[in-house]
A = this chain, B = another copy of it.
Amino acid sequence: MGGTDPTLRPFLWRAAKMYPDTEIVSRTGRGIERYDYAEFEDRTGKLANALDSAGVASGDRVATFCWNHHRHFETYFGVPNSGAQLHTINPLLPDHHIEYIVENADDRLIFVDPSLVEKLEGPADSEAFEAVEQFVVMGEEVPDTSLEPITDYESFVGDESTEYDWPDLSADTKAGMCYTSGTTGKPKGVEYTQQMLWSHTMATLTPQGLEFDESDVIMPVVPMFHVNAWGMPYSATAAGAKHVYPGPAPEPADLATLIEEEGVTFTAGVPTVWLGLLEYLDENDADLSSLETIVIGGSAAPEAVIRRFDEEYDVDVLHAWGMTETAPIGSVSHLKAGMEDWDADARYEKRGKQGLIVPGLEFKVVEDDGNEVPWNGEDFGELYIRGPWVTQSYFERPEANEEEFEDGWLKTGDVVTVDTDGYIKIVDRAKDVIKSGGEWISSLELENALMAHDDVSEATVIGVPHERWQERPVAFVVPVEGADEEALREEILADIEAEYPRWWTPDELVFIDEVPKTATGKFDKKVLREEYSDESLVEGRVPEEAAPDEE
């Protein structure tokens, strides 16, 4: 019978009916815009009607190419609750990745931010965008652009009715989609069913998750194209909390102002954001007294960040772990009862781990021989995870499915220990990936680009620890005999900069005589990683403007 499956619909309904006056605040190009859940529900209804009018049918994919703001939030409910599927595209990806995923997802309509219109024009000019029927720019006017046909959002929804008869969807209706570049090769699509988003939302609400209540003021700094901003637009709505969306490219000063002026209690993002905020606070006054919790995920949170927020600002940093494939919250580093009384060092060490699995999921840690490792904080293995909000396959990627799933378990690629208290800690990666400022960089792609050069004999790229960006890529190149190393360095870097976002460019290019090899002749990056684990190699070399959150 209809209406009893787990779907997103009850969350919107509940917030609009129980908390009609609670605010959604949005920093846009026009300044701070605000309205309440009652208006949000009305506008979501208009959006759903507009999608119907535009010919978007149940099961069609609708994409966004947007930062964090109220219109993007409207698509979070308006698209999936009308039966279509919301595909949030990461605008920081290289152009050819954007082309690939729009074609792969068969997106029919794309919502795009004014500030990202130009970025989208290149990919949109390719054959990959042939199936895209319409662009809608997130604002009140259409800028000068080659994208077409294009309308502005307010015109798109303007004349539609606020009433929409939200259908009874089944649990397995596809609701969301996000591509991951976590591992090498082409991005892989992860589809979220209504049931997955519902389950993840409920789990996020629990005290073992993020514990949202209606008195919270929640500001997702993590982009809404990163696994639904870690699900917060859904969970904050389910709780009836106030939302604060920091808009395009928020500076630390913007975040500090929003926290202070909107009374933010809860915020979340990658470590780089909070390092930047701490630096800003060193030089500027801001009242952070409303702030209770920062969730850090995407990359490991430096212990110094956890410590400084606690000691100087009385803010709990909750370290969380997850993946695009896990929708994303998998574990959260809550302290157990009694641990609050531990001395500071012991507490920060626990909080610095990836934490305790959220109720409803299961995991195991597996050695190469397939056996599970003991929970002693020392033995390590690959983390396998499964549960109602963990994906069971990638979209149209049978070869990846074969490789990355086993008997219903997702093989995460993270190499972890588990201590006797059950805290997971990532100690290595089973897969060859680099994550910088919260964004994946494919070492395989960079290596192919390097080796495409005639004067390169062989080359490899590793991620080297970096204080601000957590990791930066460093290239190791074996030149052909007699090559001019200085000329080669310049050419190589120019080639990469031409083809990839600036922040993909390796911070350092080291010429070596030979890439270390394993017994079977494969590149042995472990040797390089050990040798170059010293942050000094890349310290200060990445230009600020090349960073992903500055794009």
A386, B4: Cβ atoms closer than 8 Å: yes
A402 CB, min distance to chain B CBs, angstroms: 12
A500 interface residue per 8 A CB criterion: no
B207, A10: Cβ atoms closer than 8 Å: no
Point out the residues of chain B lying under 8 angstroms from A390, CB to CB. Answer: 4
B212, A207: Cβ atoms closer than 8 Å: yes
Select the stretch in A123-131, A352-360, A528-536 that faces chain B: A352-360
A290 interface residue per 8 A CB criterion: no
Roughly how many angstroms separate A168 CA and B208 CA in the complex, as a whole number?
Answer: 24
Point out the residues of chain B lying under 8 angstroms from A3, CB to CB. Answer: 362, 386-387, 407-409
Roughly how many angstroms separate A336 CA and B240 CA in the complex, as a whole number?
Answer: 10
Say whether, besides A18-B356, A407-B2, A10 and B361 are in contact (CB < 8 Å).
yes
B10, A199: Cβ atoms closer than 8 Å: no
Point out the residues of chain B lying under 8 angstroms from A2, CB to CB. Answer: 407-408
Point out the residues of chain B lying under 8 angstroms from A5, CB to CB. Answer: 388
A14 interface residue per 8 A CB criterion: yes
B18, A408: Cβ atoms closer than 8 Å: no
Among B1, B238, B359, point to the contact of A11 (Cβ < 8 A).
B359
Point out the residues of chain B lying under 8 angstroms from A441, CB to CB. Answer: none
A14, B202: Cβ atoms closer than 8 Å: no
Roughly how many angstroms separate A10 CA and B17 CA in the complex, as a whole number?
Answer: 33
Residues of A213-242 contacting chain B, CB below 8 A: 213-215, 238-239
When C-beta atoms are compared, the residue in chain B nearest to A401 turns out to be B1
Residues of A168-187 contacting chain B, CB below 8 A: 168, 171
A326 CB, min distance to chain B CBs, angstroms: 11
When C-beta atoms are compared, the residue in chain B nearest to A338 turns out to be B215
A428 interface residue per 8 A CB criterion: no
Point out the residues of chain B lying under 8 angstroms from A18, CB to CB. Answer: 356-357, 421-422
**What are 9 residue pairs bridging A and B, where the CB atoms are less than 8 Å apart in the complex?**
A1-B408, A3-B386, A4-B392, A10-B361, A17-B422, A202-B360, A205-B208, A208-B214, A215-B337
When C-beta atoms are compared, the residue in chain B nearest to A203 turns out to be B202
Roughly how many angstroms separate A448 CA and B153 CA in the complex, as a whole number?
Answer: 66
Residues of A1-59 contacting chain B, CB below 8 A: 1-6, 9-11, 13-14, 17-18
- Leading 9 A-B pairs by shortest Cβ distance: A215-B337, A1-B408, A3-B408, A18-B422, A205-B206, A202-B202, A2-B408, A6-B388, A238-B359
A198 interface residue per 8 A CB criterion: yes
When C-beta atoms are compared, the residue in chain B nearest to A214 turns out to be B337
When C-beta atoms are compared, the residue in chain B nearest to A237 turns out to be B359
A207, B205: Cβ atoms closer than 8 Å: yes
B239, A10: Cβ atoms closer than 8 Å: no
Q: When each residue 384-410 of chain A gets 1 if its CB lies under 8 Å from chain B and 0 otherwise, what string results?
A: 001110101100000000000101110
When C-beta atoms are compared, the residue in chain B nearest to A6 turns out to be B388
A148 interface residue per 8 A CB criterion: no
Point out the residues of chain B lying under 8 angstroms from A361, CB to CB. Answer: 10
A91 CB, min distance to chain B CBs, angstroms: 31
A163 interface residue per 8 A CB criterion: no
Among B199, B337, B375, B408, point to the contact of A17 (Cβ < 8 A).
B375
Among B13, B214, B421, point to the contact of A336 (Cβ < 8 A).
B214
A378 interface residue per 8 A CB criterion: no
Residues of A406-426 contacting chain B, CB below 8 A: 407-409, 421-422
A202, B422: Cβ atoms closer than 8 Å: no
A199, B239: Cβ atoms closer than 8 Å: no
B239, A359: Cβ atoms closer than 8 Å: yes
A214 CB, min distance to chain B CBs, angstroms: 6
Say whether, besides A387-B4, A392-B1, A359 and B205 are in contact (CB < 8 Å).
yes
B214, A360: Cβ atoms closer than 8 Å: no
Roughly how many angstroms separate A239 CA and B14 CA in the complex, as a whole number?
Answer: 25
A329 CB, min distance to chain B CBs, angstroms: 13
Point out the residues of chain B lying under 8 angstroms from A208, CB to CB. Answer: 205, 213-214, 238-239
A539 interface residue per 8 A CB criterion: no
Instruction: Pick the most buried of A202, A336, A375: most chain B CB atoms within 10 A of its CB.
Output: A202
Roughly how many angstroms separate A392 CA and B361 CA in the complex, as a whole number?
Answer: 26
Point out the residues of chain B lying under 8 angstroms from A356, CB to CB. Answer: 18
A359 CB, min distance to chain B CBs, angstroms: 4
Apart from A3-B387, A4-B387, what 19 extra A-B contacts exist at CB < 8 Å? A1-B392, A1-B407, A1-B408, A2-B408, A3-B407, A6-B195, A10-B362, A13-B362, A14-B359, A168-B408, A171-B171, A198-B388, A199-B202, A202-B206, A202-B359, A202-B360, A205-B208, A207-B239, A208-B214
